[in-house]
Amino acid sequence: FVAIQTWGYSMLEPFVPGDWSPDALVCITEGGLPDEAVAEVARLDGIRPSRCLPVAVEQPKLAEDITGSSERQSVARQDTVVMMGVEPEAALAGSDPVLNLGFVEGSRDEAIEAMRTRRGCIVPDHFARTAGLAIGDSFRVLSPEAPDTPVEYTVAGVVTLPGWHWMSKFSGVRRRDARAAATIFASRDDVRRDFGLEKTNFIWFDLDEGADLDQVGEAIAPIAERFPGEKQPVNQQGKWDFAARMYGRMVRITTPEMATERIDSRADSMIWSMCHLPLITLLVTSLGVVNAVLASVRARRWEMGVLRAVGVTRFGLARMVLAESILIGLVACVLSLGFGLTAGWCGMGVSQYVSFFGGLAPSLVVPWKSLAIGVGATVSLCLLAGLWPAISTGRAETLRLLQVGRSAM
């Protein structure tokens, strides 16, 4: 139980959206907005104009197999990436940037300058690790509309990007394929030029304090419907009803909270389903606790008779037996925690190399609330298992305990 809980929630941790993402990501599923309409969206009530960020999005294939996806595919080893073009200063500058990215290599100012002038891009740490990229290295991607003309980007920064996977899964940014190796940030001008994106189909924004997302979504819908056009390409998950909301027929909004809620509900059901067998096993082994306590009581009946003879009450004797049962449960919990945490940590490490979900370098997460349920169940079952031996011992007469115990010696 401890191993499953620890391993499961540790593997889940990289998929939970972090605080780097703005409050909401709007996807215009048909047509697209010209620049003046984007400015109109930024002026809507409920949206903070200074934190409204138009995004140019495409999902090109990698020109070379730098992730090793042809050998073995995983979450981090795919042949496509999601390119998100943003205005470097608007997205990253200032003490409280719209994209609050945590840099592990390079700096924010250097990345902004490289994105503005040298076709620089910011990549997540798992992608840099998988592809063997460092600051200054370049890689090439193929435009879906012009696959014979690769375009090159240079790594200007490496960041942590927890939750990018599920944020991209439901928001519609995976335009060409169901899976992607990473979300990569580059200059909006470069992305629009490289992939022929004339209109804007994605907008990131923060809400005003107390603003209602539904009202904002309903206000964006008529603006989008003024500019109809072809349906935008999108992966199947980008059409699902959960983890996002539709406003009208053209506006889809995803928030980190929606993605987190979906992840938590799905993960909790799967992890706890795997825990059914250990809990059933715990129930069965409680019979062994009954036998152990009964055997201990039988072996010490003469001593218990002596205790009764010198003044120990029936209730005191019963409490002693119950304490022994609880002690068995506590020892089992300590041993299980030690073994389970070690096994969960080892399983997390092994999954990096054999699991489809490996490659994201999760950190050890100990779900104490879930483990407390298991500890409580163990101690409770041991307490219940000791009830009958405690009651039968407490009801026994002193002389009977002495006689039976003496004859057994």
Higher pLDDT, 339 or 312: 339
In Å, what is the CA distance from 361 to each residue of 76, 79, 260?
A: 10, 19, 19
Higher pLDDT, 225 or 167: 225
Q: With 0-12 CB in 10 A as exposed, 13-18 as middle and 19+ as buried, what is 207?
A: middle
pLDDT of 296 above 90: no
User: How much is the mean pLDDT over the chain?
Assistant: 85
Q: What is the percent of the chain with per-residue pLDDT over 70, rounded to a whole number? A: 93
Two tokens, residue 51 = 């934190």
Average pLDDT for 130-143? 93
Cβ pair 186, 153 in contact under 8 A: yes
Residue 44 is inside which H or E element, if any?
A: none
| Secondary structure of residue 388 in the 3-state scheme | helix
**Nearest to residue 106, comparing CAs of 153, 157, 154, 155?**
157
Cβ pair 367, 340 in contact under 8 A: no
Highest mean pLDDT among 187-191, 334-338, 402-406: 187-191
Average pLDDT for 303-316? 76
pLDDT recorded at residue 315: 83
Which amino acid, one-letter code, is at 253?
I
Query: What confidence tens digit (pLDDT) does each residue in 66-110 have?
Result: 988 888 777 778 889 999 999 999 999 888 899 999 999 999 999
Q: Where are the domains of the chain?
A: 24-253, 267-408
In the beta sheet, which residues pair with residue 138? Answer: 154
Query: What confidence tens digit (pLDDT) does each residue in 355-377 have?
Result: 666 667 777 888 898 899 888 88
pLDDT recorded at residue 223: 93
Could you please report the per-residue DSSP string of 83-106? EEEE-HHHHH-SSS-SS--EEEES
Average pLDDT for 404-408? 53
Local confidence band at 406 (pLDDT 50, 70, 90 cut-offs): low
Which amino acid, one-letter code, is at 37?
A
pLDDT of 212 above 70: yes
Cβ pair 319, 393 in contact under 8 A: no
Higher pLDDT, 86 or 9: 86
Highest mean pLDDT among 229-233, 332-336, 386-390: 332-336
pLDDT recorded at residue 359: 64
